Amino acid sequence: MNKRKKKADAKKYPRRITKRMLREWAQGYFSILPWLIGIGIFFVYSMIRSLQFAFNTVILSGGVQLEPLNYTFENFANVFAKETSLPILIGEYLTNMVLRLPIIVSFALIIAMLLNSRIRFRLGFRMIFFLPVIIATGPVMAKLTGQGAGSIPLISQETLATFLSIFPDYIANPVRDLFSSLIMILWNSGIQILVFLSGLQKVPFTLYEAAKIDGANGWETFWKITIPTMKPMILLNAVYTVVTQSASGSIVDLISSTVTEVGKGYSHSAAIAWIYALLISLVLLVVFLLFRERSDKNVKYETKRVVKRG
């Protein structure tokens, strides 16, 4: 309603560009100028180049030269012909995502709620839980998993193996991976804890008190207040998790290793990169559709009423 009115207004009285507005524009553009140049060169231009690589043959002779292909998707067809492991890797990527995303996000929410409650040594606990933000990347993780420090010693590997032998391989393998690197997965939830924590602190305490007075118990307040108010954070965290989990892995290694391989090269690598980009976009789309805010108007309305009453 309001929006429509605004649009109508804008039509009736076309905006005059004043000197003041011009100055604001200039200041705005001045602020973002470095980024604007950077995004132009290192993102937009490189994107176009990368697409060109994927749809042409790259010949390296005194610089990069492009030659047209026999047919448009030749590089992509080549990728699937030469990289026989790619479909398996894609399958692994997807199952890993399906397994890890809920674990990381729900674990982060639990930890954030624990850290947000009235506890002693809050600073100390927080320091421990933010620690992975510092070290949970790169070769350190590889070295630690290599030394078997990534799995919890309390879970016996044999019991797990016998239990998993009931299931077919494509389910059993990811689950085994999941358990053997459970700590490393949990280590990846540092930033997510942080986001949930700062979100939880913004939920007005009066909401919980009002619910208590109305006779709601902890379980009910969790589902009726915490989860709805945390929904934007859940979406944000899910997106963040997908992005960071996708930033490394076997497909990424494949992209960087094929660049220098004979008979593959830039075009090949660029084609894989674009397949991967498409895959991530699809996952993000699914995440977005799952966690977006649907008809939350009711909840907001009720919250407002509760706040007013309180």
Partner 1 sequence: MGKKTGLEKEVLRLRWKRRLIGTTKHWGLASKIAVYGLLILFSFVYLYPLLHMLAQSLMSTADLMDTSANWIPTDVSGENYEKAIIVMDYWMSLLRNIYLAVVPTLCQTFICSIVGYGFARYNFPLKKFFMGLLLLSYLLPVQAVSMPNFLLLQNLNLTDGTIKPFLVTSLLGQGVNSALCILIFYNFHKQTPRVLLDAAQIDGAGYFRSYFRIAVPMSTAAILVVVLFTFVWYWNDTNLVNLYLGGYHKDGLTTLMIRLSGFEVKYAAMEFPSITESGLLSRQKTTMNDAIVMAGTMLSILPLLIFYGVLQRYFVESVDHIGITGE
Q: Which of residues 204-243 bind partner 1 (CB under 8 A)?
A: 209, 212, 232-233, 236, 239, 243
Question: Residue 161 interacts with partner 1 (CB under 8 A)?
Answer: no
The whole-angstrom separation of Cα 295 and Cα 178 is: 35
CB 236 → partner 1: shortest distance, Å? 6
Task: Please provide the size of the chain in residues.
Answer: 310
* Binding status of residue 38 toward partner 1 by CB under 8 A: yes
Q: How far apart are CA 177 and CA 189, in angstroms?
A: 18
Residue 31 in the binding site for partner 1 (CB under 8 A): yes
CA-to-CA distance for 228 and 208, rounded, in angstroms? 13
Binders of partner 1 among 107-126, rule CB under 8 A? Answer: 110-111, 114-115, 117-119, 123, 125-126
Binding mask 43-62 for partner 1 (x = CB under 8 A): xxxxx-xx--x---------
Q: Which of 10, 83, 142 is nearest to 271 (CA)?
A: 83
Q: Please classify residue 153 by burial: count the beta carbons closer than 10 Å to its beta carbon, then call 0-12 exposed, 13-18 middle and 19+ buried.
A: exposed
Q: Which of 245, 270, 303, 306 binds partner 1 (CB under 8 A)?
A: 270
Does 291 engage in binding with partner 1 (CB under 8 A)? no
State the Cα–Cα distance between residues 196 and 46, nearest whole angstrom. Answer: 35
- For the bound state, the minimum distance from the C-beta of residue 265 to partner 1, rounded and expressed in Å, comes to 10
Whole-angstrom Cα distance, residue 168 to residue 162?
A: 12
Among 32, 155, 161, 282, binds partner 1 (CB under 8 A): 32
Contact yes or no for 283/97 (Cβ under 8 A): yes
Least distance (Å) between residue 7 CB and partner 1: 15
Q: Which listed range, 6-14, 22-30, 87-95, 294-302, lies at the site for partner 1 (CB under 8 A)?
A: 22-30
Out of 277, 282, 290, 307, the only residue in the binding site for partner 1 (CB under 8 A) is 277
Name the helix (H) or strand (E) containing 243: helix 227-246
Name the segment binding partner 1 (CB under 8 A); options: 69-77, 133-141, 164-172, 302-310: 133-141
d(CA 148, CA 152): 9
Q: Is 7 in the site for partner 1 (CB under 8 A)?
A: no
User: Count of alpha carbons within 13 Å of 10, Cβ hemisphere only?
Assistant: 6
- Reading the block at residue 175, the tokens are 């689950």
106 interacts with partner 1 by CB under 8 A: no
* 84 sits near partner 1 (criterion: CB under 8 A): no
The answer to whether 142 contacts partner 1 (rule: CB under 8 A) is: yes
Nearest to 284 by CA among 249, 250, 235, 248: 235
The least distance separating partner 1 from the CB of residue 15, rounded to whole angstroms, comes to: 11
